[in-house]
Structure formats: structure tokens, C-alpha cells
Amino acid sequence: MHYKLLPSLIFIIFFILFIKLGFWQIDRAEQKKIINTAYVERQKQPPIILNNESIQIQKKDIIWHQVTLSGEFLNDKNIILDNQVHKEKVGFLIYTPFKITDVNKIILINRGWYPLSSSRNDIPQISPIYGSQLIEGEINQMPSPGISLGKVVTEKLDKSSYRIQRMEYDVLSSLISKDLMTYVVKLKKPIFDKNHILDSSIPVPDYDKNYGYAFQWFAMAFTLFIIFIRLGIKKNEIK
């Protein structure tokens, strides 16, 4: 079989690219499985008491652990994280700062997801929580801001509520406190807000999609290979 140089180079480039993309998707799936396995294992361990000693643990080592902590809510700085989807419905997550007892640190408590009302002008009624509280939850990453398109706009809705489109630590620490921790606590159950929904799913439940994407890339590489071979055979037959 005889092939021209330029078409052959184009074939080789795209064939290698598709194969690499396939293996990249497999690698992403495996990384997600590792994360989910770590999550399940850490959920089985006894709760960590969040105090002066445990807050020194690096985030990568404490993430997804169950924790207990005592302290008081700071009801004047509720954070409403907008555009959060749950079961194909749009809503928002509510975070309230929490001052940990005997620790000069503040942590955001994820109180749960709430569906969006018929009008964005409606201000969510967030019930203040007074007095000393004992919290049970799990350590979570602060939601990733994703692709940053300009500065974060902090929209003050009333004297105690702020709406934002994405969470960035620098913005939140400036708004709440320089002592704000870089991770959050998600409640185990909606103790304070009976109507708010808490998602108990694993961190990355869609890892199987990556295997599907990998199959598509490998299928494209195989199809390209078949086309390349058939074109070479046809050229031979013409000659």
C-alpha cells in the first residue's frame, strides 16, 4: 500500500491524539474512584473533634472525615451560593459562619440546598441560630469556583445575607474574617432547617462517564484507522 506523506502525517497525529485522550479519560475515572474510595473509608472512621489540635491537620488528611464541633453561629454573615442544581432543579446552598469554641477560627457550615422561588427578588428567610451548639457533620472542600470570569460580585440582600455566584476563599475571608478556615462542614442532617436538603452522595459520582468518553475516543481512533487502511487498499486497486 502506498500513502502520501501529508495525509499519513495527519492520520498519525489524530490517531495518537485520540488514543491519548482515551487513556486520559481512563486515568480521570481511576482518580475519581480513588477519591470515592478514600471518602468511603474515612466515613467509616470515628468522628474527629474539631479543636485546637485537630485544626492543625492538613486539609488533604482531614477532608471527608466526620467531625463534631461546638461553638456559636455568626448569624450576620449568611452566604447564599447561587445557581446550585439538585436533581435537575435550580436552587442555592446556604452557608453560615460558625465560631469554634476555644479556637480562634471560624468555619462555614453548609446548612443545605433550598429550591429557588418563582422570583430572584425574593430574599430567602434564613432562621438565625442562637446559643452554644454542638455540630455533627463532615469536612468538605470549599466548592470549586471553576472557570473564573471576572471578579466575584458579592450581592448584599439584607442586613445578614449575601448572595454570590461562586466561592473564593479570599473574597469570603475579607467578608467574614481573616480567621476563616479553607474547608467547610456539611451537616449530617438538616437539624436547623427542616426544608433544606442535604446531599449525601459520594464526592464524584459520575466517574463511569469517563469510561464512556474513553470508549468514544478509542472508537474514533479505530474508525480513523479503518478508513486509512481502506483508502490505501483502494489506491492500490486503482494502480
For residue range 55-111, list pLDDT tens digits in order.
Answer: 889 998 999 999 999 999 999 999 999 888 877 788 889 999 999 998 889 999 999
Answer whether residue 7 shows pLDDT above 80.
no
What's the confidence (pLDDT) of residue 138? 92
| Helix locations, 130-206, DSSP H | 169-175
What's the confidence (pLDDT) of residue 215? 95
Higher pLDDT, 87 or 214: 214
What's the confidence (pLDDT) of residue 219? 95
Where do the domains of the chain lie? 5-35+215-238, 65-187
What's the confidence (pLDDT) of residue 205? 78
pLDDT digits (tens, 9 = 90+) for 104-148: 899 999 998 888 877 777 777 888 899 999 999 999 988 765 555
What is the average pLDDT across 211-237? 84
Q: Is 95 exposed, middle or buried (0-12, 13-18, 19+ CB in 10 A)?
A: buried
What's the confidence (pLDDT) of residue 237? 55
Answer whether residue 1 shows pLDDT above 60.
no
Higher pLDDT, 27 or 208: 27
Q: Where would I find the beta strands (DSSP E) of 74-216?
A: 78-86, 89-100, 106-115, 133-141, 155-158, 161-164, 180-187
Q: Which of 2-11, 144-153, 173-182, 183-192 has the highest mean pLDDT?
A: 173-182
| Coil, strand or helix at 20 | helix
Higher pLDDT, 119 or 167: 167
What's the confidence (pLDDT) of residue 234? 63
- Any idea which residue has 470549586 for its cell? 144
236 — pLDDT class (breaks 50, 70, 90)? low
pLDDT digits (tens, 9 = 90+) for 16-53: 999 999 999 999 999 999 888 888 899 889 999 998 88
DSSP labels for 46-84?
PPEE-STTGGGS-HHHHTT-EEEEEEEE-TT-EEEEEEE
Helix axis angle, 5-43 to 207-238, nearest 10°: 160
239 — pLDDT class (breaks 50, 70, 90)? low
